[in-house]
Amino acid sequence: MSPSATDPIVNWDALTPVLIILGAGVLGVLVEAFIARPARLAVQATLSLLAILASGVSLFLRWGEVKAAGAAVEATYQGAQDFLPGARMSAGLTEDPFSIAAQGVLLLIGLLAVLVMADRTAVGDGAFAAQAADRPGSAEESESLLAGWTTTEIFPLTLFSLGGMMLFGASSDLITLFVILEMISLPLYVLAATARHRRLLSQEAALKYFVLGAFASAFLLMGSALLYGVAGAVDYKALGEAVRTVQGQDRLILTGVMLVIVGLLFKVAAVPFHAWSPDVYQGAPTPVTGFMAAGVKAAAFLALVRFYYVIAGAMGWDLAPALWAVVALTMLVGTVVGVVQRDVKRMLAYSAIAHAGFMLIGILAYSKAAISALSFYALTYGIATVGAFGIITLVRSNRGGSVGGEDGDLEAFKGLGRRSPWAAGAMTVFLLSFAGVPLTAGFMAKFRLFATGLSGNGVPFVILAVVCSAVTAFFYMRLIVLMFFHEPDGERSVVVASNGPIILAVSVAVMATIGLGILPQAAFDLFDRTAMLLP
């Protein structure tokens, strides 16, 4: 070994929650190779759910250790923020209360998403193709459908992506940030192409997501290269010091920081980097859409928090004009274009864009209170989003008495309250939470986030956000009115029964949405603690 070589530092205990998820993903690949096809769905779903639960237990144990270590260091240095950077998991990854909270939020989203994916409904078809490799409309596809097959590779792919999401908020250097970005994205490109119905639309969505995702990755890489050229390092701490101390390279640093932010803004579907979002949301299998809308947005925002607060925040006034434009346009485009949508999935896609604009207020606020508010917002929005797409999975077209694919048109939801009261009731809870109606988690999340914006000199954006929230409430309420105050549109659509998993996922999401809206203080206290050790 060369005298200058050093052994890698890997904190295996800190990596255990993620290793459980990734290890289960590897086992899922082996299940595809060695388990008979009829048994794969049950084995893969059980393996995925057990892995997420085991990872959650491991994460809870890690939280106890990190909290105790942080309290000891804080007491030693009398709360000096500079002495609380967190411990290293490995090169480029930091374990601190913020990363623990980020992993917990994503595990809960992942648990609900896997439950929705595992449901094949009472008619036995589910949302995924029999074999993703079958050509749409071919004889091979007909044979696969007749045999009752389903694409179970979705479970290990979901676990691989979830593992990357859990590490995204812990990334503390630019190389790790890029690698984990691809680790999240590559499985999702495949998952987006596996819809059972409207296969060509699904494949088109996957291709758009792949091409635009690669374009965004190029921005992030170019920005990383520029920052490395200035600082001679990729570590966030070294980059933060360079941003504050290097003279004569302000334009280069500003360009590099902005390009990295653009790469992350693509993942949260902020305007003008949002073009992929409506098409991919509509074309991907609905359970995958829910996983993307909740998980990717939460993971990207939590990664953006660390990058902005450690590095970019020092250049806040230089970045301000561009970020102000992005925040305002994101809220306006998501709101205005969402009003005219007739497809529920596209409507929720533009709703997600508007919510991204609201969450960006927390980035601009640049305070520990904003970090806590953003984490809570990511949790509440993610739970309601997975639940809402779970309901959409069950609303199907009626083809002369036989059940067809999902019917996402608003007209298909007419009279849903009479055909399936529980589905309509649950959907109403999620829509009210999106709208920010009191006694829902969405109201508490918006109230807390907007309050941090007011304290951070973001008054114009908070005013705009309140106006946009009122407008978005129109298209949420329109859907509620269609469900409860209109007669069903003949025999156009049917609501298929869940065979269990979707009912469980939606029930948990409803209880969490109402519970966090009525009694949010415990969650507030927890997220306040997780913000204290962020560098």
Task: State how far Cα 241 lies from the chain centre.
Answer: 30
Computed from CA positions of residues 18, 501, 296, 525, in that sequence, does the dihedral angle turn out positive or negative?
negative
pLDDT, position 86: 58
- CA–CA separation, 463 vs 361, rounded Å? 11
pLDDT, position 281: 93
pLDDT, position 400: 65
pLDDT, position 91: 73
- CA–CA separation, 60 vs 104, rounded Å? 8
pTM of this prediction exceeds 0.85: yes
pLDDT, position 241: 86
pLDDT, position 75: 52
pLDDT, position 72: 55
pLDDT, position 266: 93
* Phi/psi-derived region of residue 86, left when phi > 0, alpha when psi is between -120 and 50, beta in every other case: left
- CA–CA separation, 219 vs 174, rounded Å? 12
- CA–CA separation, 72 vs 470, rounded Å? 46
Mean pLDDT by 10 residues, the chain (535 residues): 58 89 96 89 94 95 77 50 54 85 94 93 79 72 73 93 93 92 93 86 91 91 92 87 76 90 92 90 92 94 91 81 93 93 92 94 88 94 95 84 76 88 94 93 94 85 94 92 84 82 95 94 89 56
Q: CB-based contacts of 437: which residues, under 8 Å, 6+ apart?
A: 443, 473
- CA–CA separation, 28 vs 279, rounded Å? 29
The total of other beta-carbon atoms located within 10 Å of residue 307's CB is 23
Strands 493-495 and 93-95: unpaired
CB 449 within 8 A of CB 359: yes
pLDDT, position 81: 42
Angle, helices 344-365 vs 316-339, to 10°: value is 160
Task: State how far Cα 252 lies from the chain centre.
Answer: 31
pLDDT, position 77: 43
Helices and strands per DSSP (H, E), number in the chain? 21, 5
Q: Does 272 sit behind a cis peptide bond, omega within 30 degrees of 0 on the bond before it?
A: yes
